[in-house]
Amino acid sequence: MPQQRSELPSDLASEARANGILLRSRLLAHERWLTSEQVAALMHTDADPEGYTRDLRSRGLLMGAEYRKQYWHPAFQFDAAGMLLPRLQELTALLPKSGNCWSAMFWMFQLTTDLDCRRPADVLEVDMAAVIAVARRDFVGDPDGW
C-alpha cells in the first residue's frame, strides 16, 4: 500500500522536527519578540496581559507563537508608534495555525521570490497587500499552480 502524502518516514519526520526546533531557536535568538506583558505595556492597557493578548490572538489581531508555556509576539507587527499594523487580521486568517503557530512564524521569516527575495516580516509594514497576496497564494491558492 502506498504511503499517504501527509506521512513521512520516521527518519525524515525526526529530521524535520529537529530542523524546526533549530529554526525556532534561531528566530527566538535573532529576531525581536515581545512577551504578553510587553505587548500590554506597548498598547497602554491595564488589562491582564495574558488575557489581553490571548483575546487579541483569538480574534486574529495579534500574531504569537508559544514556547515553554509563554507566548512570544513578533515585533514586526507593530509600527514605530507601537500600534498594530492595519490589515493584520486579514493576514492572520490566511496563515497556518499548526505547531503552536510556529508554522506561521517560519513562513513570515522565510525569504520568498514573490517579495523580491525578502521576508514577509520585513515587507509587512511597507507593503501589507503584497504579503497578503503571497499568503493567499501559498495557503489558499491552488497548489498545482506552484
- The pLDDT score that the predictor gives to residue 144 is 55
CA atoms of 90 and 99, how far apart (whole Å): 20
pLDDT, the chain, mean: 88
Residue 74: inside a domain: yes
137 lies in some domain: yes
Specify the amino acid at residue 11: D
* Amino acid identity at 107: W
**Residue 64 and residue 88: Cα distance in Å, rounded?**
12
Task: Dump pLDDT digits (tens) for 36-47.
Answer: 999 999 999 999
Q: How confident is the model at residue 108 (pLDDT cuts 50, 70, 90)?
A: very high
Given a cut of 90, is residue 134 above it in pLDDT? yes
Question: Does some domain include residue 91?
Answer: yes
Contact between 121 and 108 under an 8 Å Cβ cutoff? The reply is yes
Position 5 in a domain: no
β-partners of residue 73 are 34
Does residue 32 belong to any structural domain of this protein? yes
- Tell me the pLDDT band of 97, cut-offs 50, 70 and 90: confident
- Would residue 4 count as lying in a domain? no
Asked if 119 and 126 count as a contact pair (C-beta separation under 8 A), the reply is: no
Q: Is residue 101 part of a domain?
A: yes
Task: Find the distance separating the first CA and the last CA of the chain, reported in whole Å.
Answer: 27
Note the helical H segments in the chain: 10-30, 36-42, 49-58, 88-92, 102-108, 120-123, 128-139
pLDDT tens-digit readout, 1-46:
454 556 656 777 677 777 777 888 798 889 999 999 999 999 999 9
Q: Is residue 65 part of a domain?
A: yes
Q: How far apart are CA 132 and CA 124, in angstroms?
A: 9
pLDDT in the model for residue 25: 79
Biggest CA–CA distance in the chain, Å, is 58
pTM over cut 0.85: no
Please state the domain count of the chain: 1
Which residue range forms the structural domain that includes residue 39? 10-145
Please tell me the distance from the alpha carbon of residue 79 to that of residue 121, in angstroms, as a whole number.
Answer: 12
Cβ-contact 64, 75 below 8 angstroms: no
Q: State the pLDDT at residue 1.
A: 47
